Amino acid sequence: MQFVTANGAHIPALGFGTFRMPDEDVAAILPLALKTGFRHVDTAQIYGNEAAVGDVLAASGIPRGDIFLTTKVWVDRFARQDMGPSVDESLRKLKTDHVDLLLLHWPKSPVSLAEQIEGLNALVDAGKVRHIGVSNYNCALMGEAVRLSKAPIVTNQIEYHPYLDQTAVLSAARSYGMSVTAYYAMADGRVPKEDLLQDIGARHGKTAAQVTLRWLIQQQGVIALSKTATESRIAENFAVFDFSLDAEEMTAISALARPDGRIVSPGHLAPDWD
């Protein structure tokens, strides 16, 4: 495993995401992911599976300090009086006294960003959260969050895959010492079917999915979330540390980006994208 260091956080570069994973899938698949070697687990309040994740981690026998655990506060709990109790609920479900990283899940909210950031900082001060970050932020919002926060902002979790150019956000994040955490790396099933990625994979004895995960984590300050409910793909997704892409391959993959490449953009939650 390689790690990304960002504003004091030491984050495994490859994480296991649990978006759209019902409890039964978490119970079946997450133990196998941990056994394979995953130590970065990503969940969220809105996923509805924090308790299932907590059950697996508690039963795993892996020391809590060896797991990097992320969850996210949903937008209806951003107010100061709601955020703290909601995180207490998350900690109970996750069967832990802290999370390693707490994110604001989406930016659109009637609650001011100043109040949201104040709530995150209070949780850091209380020892319930080790690090804080944001998700689905544009460059301007990232800068504002950094300005408002006493504790360092360590990541912006965003949609990022070969079809979506995130150069602007990556550059801004690096200027603040932040990492970028990529979700939807498989572009909703498009990546495995991409001829270029298959061809590059064939040179390395790897799949298109492995090539894409490698492309992500080979970039400075980028963390990739992999997600699967298929047992056979867990080891495949983890086997991305034994090869590297050359500069020409990295550039060719980046050139797949297209203006309509974004997949996730709910109007009531999303910012004006860069």
For the chain, the domains span 3-254
Joined tokens for residue 212: 């894409």
CA diameter of the chain: 55
Residues 161 and 184: beta-carbon distance below 8 Å: yes
Q: How far apart are the first and last CA of the chain?
A: 31
What pLDDT shows up at residue 198? 98
Neighbours of 261 (CB within 10 A): 16
**Interval 205-212 mean pLDDT:** 98
What pLDDT shows up at residue 149? 98
CA angle 40, 157, 172 (to 5 degrees): 125
Neighbours of 189 (CB within 10 A): 7
Torsion angle of C-alpha atoms 140, 142, 143, 148, degrees rounded to 10:
120
- Which of these is catalytic: 47, 137, 160, 184? 47
b/e sequence 192-220, b meaning 16+ C-beta within 10 Å: eebeebeebbeeeebbbbbbbbbbbbbbe
What pLDDT shows up at residue 115? 98
Residue holding tokens 């492309």?
A: 215
Beta strands, E only, the chain? 3-6, 9-12, 14-17, 40-42, 68-73, 99-104, 129-135, 153-159, 179-183, 222-226
Look up the pTM and report it.
Answer: 0.98
What pLDDT shows up at residue 15? 98
Q: How far apart are CA 24 and CA 229, in angstroms?
A: 10
* 176 tagged catalytic: no
pLDDT band at 189 (very low <50, low <70, confident <90, very high): very high
AA identity, residue 254: S
- pLDDT digit string, tens, across residues 138-175: 999 999 999 999 999 999 999 999 999 999 999 999 99
What pLDDT shows up at residue 95? 98
Neighbours of 46 (CB within 10 A): 17
**C-alpha separations of 199 from 126, 187, 195 in Å:** 50, 18, 6
Q: How far apart are CA 255 and CA 164, in angstroms?
A: 10
What pLDDT shows up at residue 227? 93
- In the three-class reduction of DSSP (H, G, I as helix; E, B as strand; rest coil), residue 155 is classed as strand
Known binder of ligand: residue 40? no
- CATH architecture, domain defined by 3-254: Alpha-Beta Barrel (3.20)
Residues 162 and 212: beta-carbon distance below 8 Å: yes
CA angle 212, 214, 217 (to 5 degrees): 110
Neighbours of 116 (CB within 10 A): 24
- In the three-class reduction of DSSP (H, G, I as helix; E, B as strand; rest coil), residue 96 is classed as coil
